[in-house]
Amino acid sequence: MPSATPFPSSEFDHWAETYDQDVVAQDTFPFAGYEQALRTVVELAAAEPGMTVLDIGTGTGNLGLRFAELGCQLWGSDFSRVMLQQARRKVPAAKLVVQDLGGDWPTELDRRFDRIVSAYVFHHFTLRTKVRLAGEMALRHLEPEGRLVIADLSFPDEAALRAFALSVGELWEEEHYWLADESISALTEAGLRVGYWQVSACAGVYCVDSRAPVRAPG
């Protein structure tokens, strides 16, 4: 299946060397609230030592590292081999796999995980694809008491998105950003139990947990 993402992996290959500096240096779109988003993912995942965690679109490993430091068994996937090389330096023990979410699920990841997490990846896909991917992960790749936690560029609704776009001017780029109102509705209609937390003007965290109640972080 061809990639569903609009950007070739080469663009992320070129970004790999400076990615970490860029996300720290930018306190505006698209990375305003980046650190808070990652912290919220860790809090909502509530992972314990020994748990298996898959970080989808791990990039240079900024999110995955936090789970490795908790004593989790970490898997990471990304469609940029160069990004994965950077992640390997941070988390040598992680099992890292090349994966294009627009294609087939890799055989190396054909198992169930206690937690699946992701940061700043899903905005490359339409809402329909987001819901499909979330449903497939929850159904096929999570343990029965598992949890899927996704941080991404997200806005409460279309009005909030448009107001934010005007506020950042030329920094704005049109992509498939999450709108919480329509996304929660679509995920719920797909049979998923979802909670949502807005962590900055342009970032939010979705937590899918079909068994236990989803608790707010903190």
Helix (H) or strand (E) holding 144: strand 142-155
- Tens digit of pLDDT for each residue in 187-201? 999 999 999 999 999
- Two structure tokens written together for 154: 């997200």
- Distance, in Å, from the CA atom of 176 to the CA atom of 171, rounded to the nearest integer, reads 16
| CATH class entry, domain 9-208 | alpha beta
Contacts of residue 68, defined as CB under 8 A and 6 or more positions apart, other chains included, come to 74, 91, 93, 94
- Tens digit of pLDDT for each residue in 119-135? 999 999 999 999 999 99
Side-chain half-sphere of 97: how many Cα atoms within 13 Å? Answer: 18
What residue ranges do the domains of the chain occupy? 9-208
Q: What's the whole-number mean pLDDT along residues 36-61?
A: 97
Contacts of residue 52, defined as CB under 8 A and 6 or more positions apart, other chains included, come to 72, 73, 75, 112, 113, 114, 115
Q: What's the whole-number mean pLDDT along residues 4-31?
A: 64
Residue 203 predicted with pLDDT over 80: yes
